[in-house]
Amino acid sequence: MEHIIIIGNGIAGVTAARHIRKHSDRRITIISAETDYFFSRTALMYVYMGHMKFEHIKPYEDHFWAKNHIELVRGYVTRVDPVKKTLTLGNSGDFIYDKLIIATGSKPNKFGWPGQDLGGVQGLYSKQDLDLLESNAPDNQVCKRAVIVGGGLIGIELAEMLSTRNIPVTFLVREKNFWDGVLPDGEAQMINEHIREHHIDLRLQTNLVEIIPDDNGRVKAVGTDKEDTIPCNLVGLTPGVTPNIGFLQDSGIETARGVLVNRYLETSQADIYAIGDCAEQREAIDRRRPIEAVWYTGRMMGETVAQTICGNRIPYNPGHWFNSAKFFDIEYQTYGWVFSNRNKSANELHFHWRHPEEKICVTLAYDKDSRKFLGINTFGIRMRHEVFNRWLNKERTIDHVMEYLVDANFDPEFYQTYERQILDLYNQQMGTQIKPAKKSLKRIFQLG
Amino acid sequence: MSSFDKSMALTGQPPKALSLTQRISTLVGFSGLAILLLAAFGVDFPNKGLWMSLSILMILGGVIWYTVLSYGQKTKGIKNDGVWFKSISSMGFWGWMAGIAITTFYIVLYFFPEFLGLVKGSKNTGVIALFDPLSRALSGNPASQWFVYGTLYTLAILAFGVKFIWKYRHNRYEIIRTISVMFFQTAFAFIIPEIMARLNGSIPYYDLKNIWPLNYYNFERYRINGFISSGDIGLALLIFGILSVFVISPILTYRYGKRWYCSWVCGCGGLAETAGDAFRQLSDKTIKAWKIERWVVHSIVVFVTLMTTAVIYSYLGNDTSKYWLTKSSFLIGVTLLLTLVFGWAMLFKRKQLQKDAQYGAIGYFIIIIALIGLHQFSGEGNIFLFKSETLRKSYGFLIGSIFSGVIGTGFYPIFGNRVWCRFGCPMAAILGFQQKLFSRFRITTNGGQCISCGNCSTYCEMGIDVRAYAQKGENIVRSSCVGCGICSAVCPRGVLKLENGPLEGRIEANQVLLGNDVDLMDLVNSK
């Protein structure tokens, strides 16, 4: 029987395993150095915050794997030999594979800062990082202040986590606003305000210069380029992640920042595939980045590679871009493309509405000439994935989206709705006289 | 795994530590309880009305003050910080203590009311006497242990209802729903029945929102006699009782799901959602628990059906000229109704029932029909092999007292706040049967947005593994879902929405989630 080995038990590897099992009875082994069982990486923060225990963030009960004949091996792969088709595990000898899927995810970036390897300096990616954080920052007696470096999703999550234990946080962000490379200015500024509302000491356009040790080799303070020295007991390094592929160095598998793959997720070596955070596309797909360290894309690559492995060779061809996050209390969803002021092209125009008091806003991107709707960022209003997907497929204009925006609303029942205010501002700015459509279940669910 | 240990102390580090003011507010609330406890242990308070009011105000005030201290300083949003670090909410020492205390209270209430001061045929003493003035003001009668219980029950729903509303103040669904349960408890369960008793002494105590089989005793002989002898009003109530089982609740459940009852109206649900909210995360989510749940709760439905049939049968006559409903026409009616429901589900809805559910349904159906058939061969008042009185008594003891009270509420801090609703309530099971097979209600999963974090499953009080559906892009259509809306509230990515929509496409399981290659999704999902 063909033996499929998957390195990494994150969302990409596990999705691949589940789908291979659905389509075939091939032997499947998942190897992980991190944990015995699959868990939701995006949920690690909730364990530290006390919302859940670690067992709650495991999406499948432990008996699931044996029941589905998916073998789990705990160990660290040190070597891959594509010629002999073998893997070497540090502890338990060699494995022979017929097909190999590399799904080893990422590791936190470190940019060579002085002191970046001191005690009390850490990233937040793995289960081990969570355990480390629990010992570095169990409470505000042991950790009197934390400094977070890097204004992205993990940084703000870490800030939220620490603030639940009343640990004072200083948040250093290189750009002029939080997550400024991704969010348009209006939104990024709203998040700045919200971060400060949570008593986080947010310092924009501030860079880390050095991490200063105490006598025991632990962090004592950090120095910034604003000539500040901030005493602290924890430094959270969260300036993004990079593919975790060090073990492939001499394997002969072609790599750049990540493992290079073609559209079929095949690497340079026969019968070896790479998916998820660690894969780097040789050719660009749509306007996506060559490395996408996102839960959803990991899952989609898993779904795709399972087809190929089971004999139906198909390219990785993701649909419209979507993503989501939560910034403290503000939920964020995006459908289609909305680029930041820094990154958007001349033809991409934005319409932005923000609630006068609440932390609620939307930004819709559209094409200057055709008025084609390109995408939406929504903060504090939940929107329907399916409806936006449909509009993007049908290449609707922004006027159409505005007219039917009510269909996309996904907030719980009885919530205040804002379609009217949004449309009023839109009509005013665009000089249009669009009337809002009435919500229709028939349209939403595409019936009749 | 966490370095936080569940110590007995209320002190410690945030987020589990209580501030000084929080501790004082807790003390105020417990002092209110202490007055009741002292009365129960025989302290004879001079001015009963005053001390009772003081006790109630202190409990109410303590809870509300604590609430303001806990949530007032924080921005609005989901605040489950430290839930699994706190001893009370994570089955630690204080959780067990609370469980033992509540359980003890229920045992005394149901089986030893004399300890509360109930004196048959004479003046009340103890804590019951403390409530005499209030009871007299409402109904004109002295208090009973049930009046004391009803008052405290309502107080708990009101005080913790305020806490719940404050906690979820960003969520209008939760606010409106909680105001609804607070209203129905205060008006329908507490005030109206007392006033009805004052206006017309022969009407049995009737909490209008209690529907058979939750009030399994509604059609017992003494109640039927009470209704009939109370003129038009009594008759109207009896007809309302029957309509609410067969007409009103099916229509509402079709339109809104069983949530219209379980988390908007019901008193058990009301207590679970308010006083029990701190324990919702303790419900067991394993597949094993789900299997046990389905067998236990449906067995109780069978039990209550048999019991009620036997009780009504026992007091009906045989002579059609005296009364149109006789023993045999009643039994034929019951048989017909059950056959219709069974046949409909098996013919039209079989695909939506699991294999073991089908076997269970067939088995139970055969048992019921066989027992009803047996009545021909057994003596008067002795159908189903047992005396109807024996059935009624054992149901009242096992289900009415032990399960719904002692275990159902006493075990909140151990098994979660919906133990009774999930494993025991026959009403919930019947509404759930309909919700699963014939209702517009569902929890919609938002395309491919799920990140499998597990907040929804963890905070589901009914022990539904919501995530298992959401991460497949499948809508959640489960008979046990009471529609509390918390899964949707705690979801960090806006994936879940409770809504009423067309039956078409209500349940669809996706192999591949929205977002991937359109052809691949079609290919795999079409299988």
Q: Domain of B453: which CATH number?
A: 3.30.70.20
Q: Does residue A57 share a domain with residue A26?
A: yes
Q: Does residue B135 share a domain with residue B60?
A: yes
Q: Which of A145-159, B106-120, B467-481 has the lowest mean pLDDT?
A: B106-120
pLDDT average, residue stretch A197-213:
96
Rounded Cα distance, B382 and B22, in Å? 59
Give backbone dihedrals phi and psi of A53, rounded to 5 degrees, phi first.
-95, 165
In a domain, A317, yes or no: no
So what's the pLDDT on residue B4? 45
Token representation of residue B488: 């949707």
Full 3-state SS string of B115-180: HHCCCCCCCCCHHHHHCHHHHHHHHCCCCCHHHHHHHHHHHHHHHHHHHHHHHCCCCHHHHHHHHH
So what's the pLDDT on residue B9? 43
Residue with the bigger pLDDT between B105 and B356: it is B105
From the list A249, A225, A221, the residue with the least C-alpha distance to A233 is A221
Cα angle value A209/A212/A215 (rounded, 5°) = 170
Residue of B nearest to A384 (CA): B446
Q: Does residue B420 share a domain with residue B449?
A: no
So what's the pLDDT on residue B358? 84
Rounded Cα distance, B154 and B188, in Å? 11
So what's the pLDDT on residue A206? 96
Tell if the CB–CB gap between A11 and B493 is shorter than 8 Å.
Answer: no
Whose tokens are 């389509």? That residue is: A23
Tell if the CB–CB gap between A139 and B458 is shorter than 8 Å.
Answer: no
Chain B residues whose CB is inside 8 A of the A296 CB are: 448-449, 515
Q: What percent of chain B has pLDDT over 70?
A: 95
Q: Does residue A298 share a domain with residue A186?
A: no
Q: Which of B184, B199, B214 is the last residue of a domain?
A: B199
Q: Does residue B410 share a domain with residue B268?
A: yes
Tell if the CB–CB gap between B454 and A57 is shorter than 8 Å.
Answer: yes
Tell if the CB–CB gap between A385 and B448 is shorter than 8 Å.
Answer: yes
Tell if the CB–CB gap between A318 and B457 is shorter than 8 Å.
Answer: no
Q: Does residue A29 share a domain with residue A139?
A: no
Which residue of A410, A415, A444, A445 to mutate against B (max B Cβ within 10 Å)?
A410
Q: Does residue A87 share a domain with residue A56?
A: yes
Q: How many domains does chain B have?
A: 3
Q: Which of B409, B440, B471 is the last residue of a domain?
A: B440
Chain A residues whose CB is inside 8 A of the B91 CB are: none
**Beta-ladder partners of A30:** A6, A72
Chain B residues whose CB is inside 8 A of the A329 CB are: 75-78, 170
pLDDT average, residue stretch B218-237:
87
Rounded Cα distance, A28 and A69, in Å? 7
State the average pLDDT for chain A. Answer: 96
The alpha-carbon gap from B461 to the nearest alpha carbon of chain A, in Å, equals 14
Of A165, A331, A389, the CB nearest to B14: A165
Chain A residues whose CB is inside 8 A of the B512 CB are: 303
In a domain, A316, yes or no: no
Of B170, B286, B449, the CB nearest to A333: B449
Cis peptide before B15 (omega within 30 of 0): yes
Residue with the bigger pLDDT between B466 and B124: it is B466
Cα angle value B276/B278/B284 (rounded, 5°) = 80
So what's the pLDDT on residue B14? 64
Q: Does residue B286 share a domain with residue B171?
A: no
**Beta-ladder partners of A378:** A333, A362
Distances (CA, A) of A133 to A34, A126, A143, B131, B282: 16, 11, 10, 54, 26
Whose tokens are 């936080």? That residue is: B4
In a domain, A385, yes or no: yes
Each residue of B319-366: pLDDT tens digit?
777 777 888 888 888 888 998 988 898 888 888 888 888 888 888 888
Q: Supply the CATH number for residue A414's domain.
A: 3.30.390.30
Tell if the CB–CB gap between A445 and B505 is shorter than 8 Å.
Answer: yes
Q: Does residue B328 share a domain with residue B454?
A: no
Q: How many domains does chain A have?
A: 3
So what's the pLDDT on residue B259? 97
Each residue of B273-331: pLDDT tens digit?
999 999 999 999 999 999 999 999 999 998 898 888 888 888 888 777 777 788 888 88
The alpha-helical segments, DSSP class H, found in B168-286 are: 172-183, 192-199, 221-228, 231-243, 249-256, 259-262, 267-274
Write the ipTM.
0.95
Instruction: Read off the pLDDT band of B457 (50, 70, 90).
Output: very high
Strands (E), A164-300: 169-173, 201-204, 208-213, 219-224, 229-231, 234-237, 241-243, 259-261, 272-274, 279-281
Chain A residues whose CB is inside 8 A of the B179 CB are: none
Tell if the CB–CB gap between A49 and B82 is shorter than 8 Å.
Answer: yes
The alpha-carbon gap from A400 to the nearest alpha carbon of chain B, in Å, equals 21
Q: Does residue A103 share a domain with residue A248?
A: yes
The alpha-carbon gap from B361 to the nearest alpha carbon of chain A, in Å, equals 27
In a domain, A379, yes or no: yes
Q: Does residue B379 share a domain with residue B453?
A: no
Q: Which of A184-193, A376-385, B215-224, B413-422 has the lowest mean pLDDT?
A: B215-224
pLDDT average, residue stretch B152-157:
96
Instruction: Read off the pLDDT band of B377 (50, 70, 90).
Output: low
**Beta-ladder partners of A235:** A121, A147
Each residue of A344-358: pLDDT tens digit?
999 999 999 999 999
Rounded Cα distance, A93 and B60, in Å? 65
So what's the pLDDT on residue B13? 63
Q: Does residue A254 share a domain with residue A182?
A: no
Q: Supply the CATH number for residue A68's domain.
A: 3.50.50.60
Distances (CA, A) of A149 to A112, A127, A223, B80, B477: 13, 20, 12, 26, 44
Q: Does residue B455 share a domain with residue B407?
A: no
Rounded Cα distance, B407 and B411, in Å? 5
In a domain, A113, yes or no: no
Q: Does residue A230 share a domain with residue A247?
A: no
From the list A107, A110, A111, A78, the residue with the least C-alpha distance to A243 is A107
SS3 state of residue A325: strand
Each residue of B424-452: pLDDT tens digit?
999 999 999 999 999 999 999 999 999 99
Instruction: Read off the pLDDT band of B208 (50, 70, 90).
Output: confident
The alpha-helical segments, DSSP class H, found in A30-71 are: 44-48, 63-67
Check whether A77 has a pLDDT greater than 80: yes
Q: Is A330 left (phi over 0), alpha (psi -120 to 50) or beta?
A: beta
Q: Does residue A64 share a domain with residue A149?
A: no
Check whether B382 has a pLDDT greater than 90: no
Rounded Cα distance, B130 and B152, in Å? 12
pLDDT average, residue stretch A318-337:
97
Name the residue range of residue A160's domain.
121-239
In a domain, A217, yes or no: yes
pLDDT average, residue stretch A41-63:
97
Rounded Cα distance, B367 and B383, in Å? 13
So what's the pLDDT on residue B365? 84
So what's the pLDDT on residue B6? 43
Of B81, B171, B447, the CB nearest to A386: B447
CB pairs under 8 A between A and B: 206
The alpha-carbon gap from B88 to the nearest alpha carbon of chain A, in Å, equals 13
Chain A residues whose CB is inside 8 A of the B511 CB are: 19, 22
Class of residue A64 by CB neighbours under 10 A (exposed 0-12, middle 13-18, buried 19+): middle
So what's the pLDDT on residue B150? 93
Q: Does residue B413 share a domain with residue B299?
A: yes
SS3 state of residue B498: strand
State the average pLDDT for chain B. Answer: 88
The alpha-carbon gap from B355 to the nearest alpha carbon of chain A, in Å, equals 19
pLDDT average, residue stretch A179-204:
96
Q: Does residue B291 share a domain with residue B268?
A: yes
**How many angstroms from the chain centroid is the CA of residue A65?**
26
Q: Which of B199, B218, B246 is the last residue of a domain?
A: B199
> Which residues are CB-neighbours of B232 under 8 A, at least 6 positions away?
none
pLDDT average, residue stretch B381-402:
77
Tell if the CB–CB gap between B498 and A47 is shorter than 8 Å.
Answer: no
Rounded Cα distance, B325 and B319, in Å? 9
Q: Does residue A438 share a domain with residue A399?
A: yes
Check whether A141 has a pLDDT greater than 60: yes
Name the residue range of residue B453's domain.
441-525
Rounded Cα distance, A46 and A56, in Å? 10
Check whether A55 has a pLDDT greater than 60: yes
Q: What is the DSSP letter of B114?
A: G
Instruction: Read off the pLDDT band of B1 (50, 70, 90).
Output: very low
Inter-residue contact A169 to A145 (CB < 8 Å): yes
Q: Does residue A64 share a domain with residue A14?
A: yes
Q: Does residue B32 share a domain with residue B14?
A: yes
Which residue of B19, B81, B523 to mutate against A (max A Cβ within 10 Å)?
B81
Q: Is A3 left (phi over 0), alpha (psi -120 to 50) or beta?
A: beta
Of B176, B446, B518, the CB nearest to A385: B446
So what's the pLDDT on residue B401? 84
In a domain, A15, yes or no: yes
pLDDT average, residue stretch B182-190:
94
**How many angstroms from the chain centroid is the CA of residue B16?**
29
Check whether B10 has a pLDDT greater than 60: no
Give backbone dihedrals phi and psi of A239, rounded to 5 degrees, phi first.
-90, 50
Of A19, A165, A319, the CB nearest to B13: A165
Check whether B169 has a pLDDT greater than 50: yes
Which residue of B76, B78, B84, B170 to mutate against A (max A Cβ within 10 Å)?
B84
Q: Which of A381-385, A426-430, B136-140 has the lowest mean pLDDT?
A: B136-140
Tell if the CB–CB gap between B449 and A322 is shorter than 8 Å.
Answer: yes
Tell if the CB–CB gap between B448 and A322 is shorter than 8 Å.
Answer: yes
So what's the pLDDT on residue A262? 97
Q: Does residue A183 share a domain with residue A166?
A: yes
So what's the pLDDT on residue B348? 85
Token representation of residue A159: 């800030």
Tell if the CB–CB gap between B451 and A384 is shorter than 8 Å.
Answer: no
The alpha-carbon gap from A104 to the nearest alpha carbon of chain B, in Å, equals 18
Identity of the residue numbered B518: V
Rounded Cα distance, B36 and B46, in Å? 14
Which residue of B288, B451, B519 to mutate against A (max A Cβ within 10 Å)?
B451
Each residue of A392-438: pLDDT tens digit?
999 999 999 999 999 999 999 999 999 999 999 999 999 999 999 99
Q: Does residue B351 share a domain with residue B207?
A: yes
Q: Does residue A126 share a domain with residue A232?
A: yes
Q: What percent of chain A has pLDDT over 90?
A: 97
Chain B residues whose CB is inside 8 A of the A389 CB are: 447, 514-515
Q: What percent of chain B has pLDDT over 90?
A: 54
Chain A residues whose CB is inside 8 A of the B526 CB are: none
Tell if the CB–CB gap between A57 and B494 is shorter than 8 Å.
Answer: no
Chain A residues whose CB is inside 8 A of the B449 CB are: 296, 322, 324, 333, 385
pLDDT average, residue stretch B120-128:
84
The alpha-carbon gap from B416 to the nearest alpha carbon of chain A, in Å, equals 15
Q: Does residue B34 share a domain with residue B147?
A: yes
Tell if the CB–CB gap between B485 and A324 is shorter than 8 Å.
Answer: no
